[in-house]
Structure 1
Amino acid sequence: MIIKSTNITTSSGSSKISHHLTGKVDENDFVNVLWGSRADVDDSFTNAELSNRKYGVKNFMVSNLEEMSDEQFLQTIDSIGQEFGFTRDNIKLAVIHGKDHHHGDGRHAHFLVETINPENGRNFDFKNYQQRQELVSRKMELDNGFQLNKGRHNRYVFSRLEQENPEYAERMKHLTEGRLERKTISEKRIENLRRRGSNPFQMKKELKEVWTNVEGNFDEFAEKIKDSGYSIEQGRKTLIINDKDGKFVTGIKNVLNVNDKELTTILQTSKYAQNNVASHGFEGPQDASSPLAGIATATPGTPSDKPENQPAEPSRQPTQKAQPETSASGHIVADLAVDSSQSTGAMSQDEKASIQSQNSDKMQARQTMKENLAGQERMAKALEELLKQQEQQNQKKPAKTWNNVLDDEERKLIDIINQPHPKLKIITDKQVKNWIYKNYSDDLKTIKNRKEKIWKLRYEIKELRQGDRWWNNKGKKADHKKTEEQEKEEKLQLMIIHIVHAIMYKLGLTNVQPNPWNSLTKKEKKDYLIIYKTNEYAQLLCEQKTDTNAINRISLLKMTENNEKIREFQERPEVQDSRKLLMKLNNLRQVDINDLDEIGQNEFKDAMKNMNIDGAMQAVRQSEKRQELAEIGQFQPVQPEYSGNVIKFKQKKKVKNYSRSL
């Protein structure tokens, strides 16, 4: 069983994912909606948007290699919900698709889960979702007797099952051993093939079946897929399989489920590989009929050079290493068979097999060495290029000036001041009203209908009171209807306060979760009636003919509460300090160094040289203090000058003061 999931962002909206699940009838054999609707999905996105959440829903997909019934799909959905903490009520849309290219009977299920838990207003816990999805998959496979699949997280599954169900853990323990099977065709390649009109799932099935049927015979495998229209060719790094149009389908290693070393061994024993395709990972020489046949071989010494029954000694003369040749295509041709041994017709079958095995090991060792050397060379070139780029950046980057330092500090302070709230966004009362009417329109209509019935009942009571006479029983009827009217009004008040409570809870205006309407006890109903008498919004909704005023007041309350939190964030102490520092920074730019005394000028120049903003401010403050002290010490009473009846005072020279702003 395969369980996948993706997060659908709130900004993407609900239309695309809803259309993908219910609208693509032409791409599916059938679409069976289990429950939910587009409106329910819209509500999830609206709630996520009002709560400033990144994701609106989570899209789960369930498929299996074997046929599954509707009951098994529902059982799987419930198991996923139990693992992640949600119920069917939190699933806004659930469908079953039918596609002929899928596993089993071609059926798979999609369901969308809201990301916010309505019980506490927090996100559902989807941490480590891939490991936990595999846990549910293995459980369902064991519960229903399906084939056990090897996943990427089976060790996590085994550790969880050891605690929860030791019997299941023992039954799937073998899945934790060995390496994971390769994907025959990658997800990206599947999408590309589908866009070209191909059926990637059918291709995958065909290739897998052929390799399984030939039981490891590569020559037979190559011939069979050739008959089906496929071709094996040399790719950039390894052998690949192309379709009948010559378009890439997948790598040969993915189909055979082997690594590089195992593939090399398979190709060495394959006549098809020697005659038709290049050696694994390399291109053959230009003049060779086949790459493996064109490999140079070393000729061993003949037996006549040594006495009988004496093994030939290895040559002690230094051998010259073969240099790589360059083909016309620009690729380096690797001589993989240097120093390899050669079998003769006089050798036994075991000796030939031994020599072939030795040559294979040597060939693999040389290939690994060449790959390592090539990797080191690429790393060295990348490091060299990185160093060159850094040198160029250092050369181009001019030395910082005093104004650059002030600009950088100013940008930091402005970023702090303009930083948006991490969770909240500015909203309007119109947005809140639209959300309320969208989610509670049915409840508001019910309230309106009940109010109209009560008003009609009151009118009937009024007419009965007016027509009451001693010879008729209209007075008794009026009393009976009055009792009925009081009961209906009390029920309406309970319903209204419950809906107002639910709206405020959804909007985050209260932390107290409302109880389900039908499960209220008598005591809770009495408490609700007490709350109703003090709740202005519930009274407005009950007493006025329309719900406009009450909804407007609630929307205004939510907008004010939300925007007040944002305002408090914008006026936090960090922002206030940044504004003060920014003002000081702007005043520091306007300082005229000639207005400072000699000591202040020297200190200010040193601070500029060291790019020390605090030191520059300190130099200005200290300079002005010294100037003030000097003025106080030299103070003399100013003698007035008489000019007729007018007394003139000599004006004292004013000194520019920066200290108050710094």
Structure 2
Amino acid sequence: MSIIIKSTRIKTKSGPTNISRHLLDKIEDNEAIELIKGNRQDMVEAFDSARNKAGKPSKYALRHWIVNSTEKMNDQQFNRTLQALADEFEFNVDDAVVVRHTKEKDTDDKEVSNQHYHITVPEILENGKVLSDKKNYQRHEKIARTLENEFGFTHVVGRHNKAVEIATKDLNPEVSAVAGKLAQEPLPKQKYTPKALQEAKRNDIDIKKLCRIAKNECDGIKNYQEIQEKLQPLGMQIIDGQYKRKDGKLTPVIATENGKFVIGSVASILKMNAKEITDIIEQKENSAINLHLSDMPVSEPVDMLEALNNGPVASIFKNDVENDVQDSVKNRMDMPVSKKSFEDVIKEEQEKLLQVINAPHPDLVEESSMTIKQRIRHEFKNQFDDLKEKKKDVIELKNKIKYLKDNSSFFNNNKKTAKELEENELKEAMEKAFLLAMALVKNIGHYLGLCEGVEDIDLLTQSEREQLLIQYHESELAEKMLKNEKTREEGIDTIANRVAMEKTAEIEKWQNRPEAREARRIYNRLGNLLDQDLDDLDSQGVKDFMEAKEEADPYKAMEAVTGSNQREKEEYIQNLQNEPDEPENGLNKHVQKVPKTPTFRPNFG
């Protein structure tokens, strides 16, 4: 296979936390996580847009694509893939968040890529419409076949190649011809479904690794008993599955030792055809019959049974049984407690490291700008109402003054009254409104942890009031609070967006703190120990590594690997230094001996 594209729609009610953590924080599931485009806040804002969609909230907030390629894509090829998705589904590439994951390969083939890409795009487009989801499976395969042809990759025998053939017949006859041929070929057998993969993760089972181990251990073996003997030490076995074949017999599957989790069918994991599976079923049935016969008790004369149960020898047998039970209990008490395995110790250490890596920020909780705005409106509702009343008083006074001026004459005192209102009541009303607006801004800032707040305005001194009035005229946000409702909302947006971005930046800084980076580094190194190839170590390294494994000391094993790598570097440099000088390039004189790496131990609390 080559390029596979899948997508899911992330529901608005699920919130941004789960998807952002899945893409950016799950270091335990990936060897490396690279944020290529966009940021965490972009995903948070997509949920804001979905919640505030005109008319009614959108059911979905994000479209999540996974792009997986057998052959490794270069940056140019991936950018072409992203643009192809954008053109097909009509979204803006600038709105996409792109994350590249590097994972352990599900095969020993070194040519197969161990990288895949995650792409998220807001479901709500800039024009307010929802991203198209019509016939997305067929559209994904059309993009994949087109790009495979363009990049010179191998092709996938997919379920929708017939649809791809028809869709590309006029636009790209070459791709259409390829899809037509692929549509005639049988679909490849699936080892496990995506649902099974997720269930395995929830049960802490590495289904990919188990499939690979089972295939490697049983490769070429067609005998049921031999396969069982190979699988049992690995904690696996062959059992009957839940699906029936055409002959009415249940399909054999490979499951965990307790039979509670099915890893996959024998046919798909061990690459067997229908006849070979039929032979496995027959061998399994014969094995079960033989096992049943061997367990049946040998019949004895009735009088002998009675003698054993009721005769004088019965008490002898009873005493022997009691003694055997006592000896068994004593032996179990005397047995040493089995020590933890190398793998168990690594798992325990990784769990400790994950607590450091995933530790929540001590003071901050990630939230969107929309959530912050809602908190502000709720917390300061009364103050906003007061400010609205003060503004209403100012407007009424201005209207009254205007009316007096417009209707002034020689026969009345309207002009004088208007002037008195301007100099006294209007000035006082405006000052109160200004003070309240500035106090509201400062109190919102204090509520969000940005600045000091303001006490009750009536308790302020004249000097403090004057200072607050000066600050009002210097504050664009305070002026917005006194304008129309739309402008006031823009002001709240400004402060909410600022706080949301600062919070996100602080949380990302926390997640990238030195001890978390160190924990990630050690976590990855511990994981690498489980698949350490001894052929990559020198003889001393192999000896040290096996000794550390026997002692179940992963950090000593790390030192063994580091030491072996260091010796290889030193030997390589020594060989370079011993080579004849080559004056024309002068490289050798710049070679320096690499200092020996110090003993490795984690250096965080």
TM over 0.5: no
Tell me the TM-score normalised to structure 2 length: 0.44
Larger Rg: 1
Tell me the TM-score normalised to structure 1 length: 0.40
